[in-house]
Amino acid sequence: MAYDKFNVLTSTAVPLPIENVDTDQIIPARFLKATKREGFGDNLFRDWRYNTDDTPQQAFILNNPIYTGKILVGGTNFGSGSSREHAAWAIYDYGFRCVVSSFFADIFKNNAINMGILPVQVSPEFLEKIFAAIEANPNTQFEVSLPQQTIVILSSGEKQTFNINGYKKNNLLNGFDDIDYLQAMKSDIVSFAATHAI
Amino acid sequence: MSNTPTTLFDKVWDAHVVRKIEDGPDVFFIDRHFIHEVTSPVAFLGLETRGIKVMVPEHTFATADHNTPTINQHLPVEDPLSANQLKALEQNSAKYGISHWGLGNPKNGIVHVVGPENGITLPGMTIVCGDSHTSTHGAFGAIAFGIGTSEVEMVLSSQCIMQPKPLKMRINVKGTLGKAVTPKDVTLYIISKLTTAGATGYFVEYAGDVFEKMSMEGRMTVCNMSIEMGARGGMIAPDETTFSYINGRELAPKGEAWNKAIAYWKTLKTDADAEFDVEYNFDAADIEPMITYGTNPGMGMGISKSIPKGADLKGGTATYEKSLKYMGFHEDEQMIGKKVDFVFIGSCTNGRIEDFRAFASIIKGRKKADHVTAWVVPGSHIVEAQIKEEGILDILTEAGFLLRQPGCSACLAMNDDKIPAGKYAVSTSNRNFEGRQGPGSRTLLASPLVAAAAAVTGYVTDPRDLM
C-alpha cells in the first residue's frame, strides 16, 4: 500500500550509536506472530527496551524522555539479518519516518522504503557529527529533504547529500508504490512470461 | 548474442529482466516463490484490500515452518497466535489455489529444505521467499534471495519484484579441506574474513575446487549463510553433482523436458575472463573447525584459537565489548573447554541428512553429557524418514538423544524451543544475534561435528579429538 508522502522532515533525532543493529534486536522473532501490519511499535527494540520482567530498561535510549523525534540515528550496518519487513513496520509504527546510518543492510533498506521510511546513508564522519550534535543538545533539529537529497544539522548548518534512485524518490514524494507500477505494466509481464522458458 | 564474457549471475539475472527502469530498479521476473506463515499474511491482506488475484498460483509453494512445534505435531497448536498464523496460511493458500504443505503433510518441513528435496528448486531459476535464507537455493545455480512482505505481495500479484541489479563478487576457495572441516566451517571462515557487512550490495558466486567437490547439501549450507555477510545471495554453477541430485525428484522435469533442461543448465557457468566487481581467494588449508564467540556471524574463529582482542579488529571497540559482555566472554580466552548447556542441530543451514550423518558419526558409541539439553530437529519429514531408514535414529536413541519433528525450531525460537537466558547453546543454525534463540540466550554457531562433540562432552570440544 502507498504510505505517507515524504517531502521535507524537520525533527529532533534519537541516537542509537550501536553497530550492526540486527533485525532480531529491532523486533525479536517471538513478536512476529501477528497477521496484521499494525502494533509492532510496542515491541520495537523489545529486549533492549524492557527487562525480563517487562519493566522498562531505564538506560535504553527510547526510555529516556530527553530524546524524541521522527528520526532514528543508528551505527553502521543498520538492519542486518533477517528479511522480516516487521522490522520496518515496528520502526514506522513507533513513529519514526527516517533512519540515518553510515551503512544499511540491503533487505532492510528496501523494506524501509517500501514502508515509506526514508533510509539516509551518510559518511561515517557525518554520522559522528550527528551523534555529537545530539549529545551536545538533545533538542538539535535536523532537516531531511528528499527533493534536495540532503540532511542538515540545523544548529551548525552542516549538510550532507544522500543517494536514492529516481524511481524510488518519485514513489516516496508522491506516495506511489511498486504494486501500482507493476499492475500498470501487467500486459508486458504477461507477454514476458509467455516467452520465458522456465 | 554478444561475445563479451559474462558471469553465471549475469546470465540468469539478464534472462529475467522484464523492464529496465532508468535511474531505478529492474522489473525482475520470478520463477518460483516460497511462502511461509510468518511473512505472508499481510501480503494476502494487501491483495484483498486492492482486490487483486494471485497471478500464477502454481509457481508459489506454501509450507509451515517458522512457528510450528517440534513435538506432538498431531495435536492442536497451543499458542493461539501461532495457530492463527498457521490457519491464515492454510486459508490463503486454499483461497488462491496455492499448494500448501502444512503441519502433518508428509512434505512439510523448512522451506529451504523442502524446495530442493522435492525438485522445485532448479538451476537458472529466480527464486524468492520472505525469508533471508532463501539464498540457500543458489546452490543449484539459481538466483535466490530473501524479500520483504511488500515484495511477497508483488510476486503474488505480478510474479515480479523491483530490484536494482547487485554488484558481483566471486569467492574462490581452493585446495583440500582438513579433517573435520565441513561446509559450515568454510562459510563461517569466509564470513569471519569478510565481516557481517562485507558483502552487502553484492551477489556472490562461490568457485574453486572446494565447492566443486562439495555435495549439494554442503553447497546449500554455504549459500544459505551468504546473507550473514550481507550478500543478497550466493550461487554455485550447476554441474553433474547438481544434476544427479535433482534427477528423479518429484517435481523435477522428466523425459524430454529433462534432456532439454540439462542442455540449458550446462550453459550456466561463468565464462573465462568474465569480470567481477570484487574477488576473494582463500586457501582451504587455512580453515579449521570454526566456532563463533560473539553476537554476529562474522565473530567466528578457528576452534583451537583464542578470542581476538578488540584492538586488533576493525570497527568500534564499544560494540565489540558489548558483544563479549553479553556472551560472558573475555578477549584472548580459549573457547575450548567452555561449558555448554544446550546443543541444537537442525535449521535451514544444517538440517539435511548429511548433517545428521555427521552428527551421528561423533555420537555413535558415546552418550549425551548429562547436563546438556539437546534438540535434534530434522529439516523436513523426508529428512526425518531418511534418519530412520539409515539407522541414525538408533544411534541417537542409544546415545540418549530424542529426535524431534521438523521445523525452524530453536534457530529463531518463535515456538517453544527457546534457550533460557544466560545459557550457552552450540547451534548449527545461522545467527548468534543477542536473544536470537530466546531472550538472553548465548549462541555459539558451529558445524554438526562441533555440535556433536559439545553434546557428548558437555564442553566446547575440538571434534578432531573424538575422531
B-chain residues within 8 Å CB-CB of A115? 150
CATH of the domain at A114: 3.20.19.10
Task: Give per-residue pLDDT as tens, B378-418.
Answer: 999 999 999 999 999 999 999 999 999 999 999 999 999 99
Q: Is residue A56 domain-resident?
A: yes
Write the class of the CATH domain B1-288. alpha beta
Looking at residue A198, its pLDDT comes to 65
Domain that residue A131 falls in: 8-195
Q: What is the dihedral of CA B116, B190, B145, B383, to 10 degrees?
A: 20
Taking an 8 Å cut-off on Cβ atoms, the answer to whether A33 and B159 are in contact is no
**Percent of chain B at pLDDT exceeding 90:** 97
Task: Give per-residue pLDDT as tens, B433-455.
Answer: 999 999 999 999 999 999 999 99
Closest CA to B264 of B246, B251, B282: B246
Q: Which of B88, B148, B197 sits opposite A114 (nearest CB)?
A: B148
Number of domains in chain A: 1
Q: Is residue A1 domain-resident?
A: no
Is A168 touching B (CB cutoff 8 A)? yes
A96: which 3 cell numbers? 519514526
Q: Is residue A91 domain-resident?
A: yes
Strands B424-427 and B342-345, how do they pair?
Answer: parallel
Q: Is residue A131 domain-resident?
A: yes
Describe the crossing of helices A166-174 and A106-115 by its angle, rounded to 10 degrees. 30
Please name the residue ranges forming H helices in B315-457.
Answer: 317-327, 347-350, 353-363, 381-389, 392-398, 448-457
Q: Which of A32, A177, A189 sits opposite B159 (nearest CB)?
A: A189
- In this structure, whether the domain defined by B290-466 belongs to CATH 3.20.20.140 is answered with no
Q: Which candidate in A23, A182, A185 is best for mutational testing of the B interface (most B CBs within 10 A)?
A: A182
Cβ proximity of B28 and B16 under 8 Å: yes
User: Average pLDDT, stretch B162-189?
Assistant: 98
Instruction: Find how far residue A189's CA is from the centre of its chain.
Output: 31
Is A49 touching B (CB cutoff 8 A)? no
Say whether pLDDT at B7 is over 60. yes
Cβ proximity of B70 and B375 under 8 Å: yes
User: Average pLDDT, stretch B231-242?
Assistant: 98
Q: What is the dihedral of CA B407, B184, A21, A44, to 10 degrees?
A: 0
Q: Is residue A2 domain-resident?
A: no
Say whether pLDDT at B280 is over 70. yes
Looking at residue A87, its pLDDT comes to 97
What stretch(es) of chain B map to CATH 3.30.499.10? 1-288, 290-466
Chain A: residue whose CA lies nearest to B146:
A83
**Residue for cell digits 521438523?**
B406
Taking an 8 Å cut-off on Cβ atoms, the answer to whether A36 and B45 are in contact is yes
Distance from CA of A79 to the nearest CA of B (A): 10
Say whether pLDDT at A4 is over 70. yes
Closest CA to B20 of B129, B150, B164: B164
Say whether pLDDT at B314 is over 80. no
Task: Give per-residue pLDDT as tens, B342-391.
Answer: 999 999 999 999 999 999 999 999 999 999 999 999 999 999 999 999 99
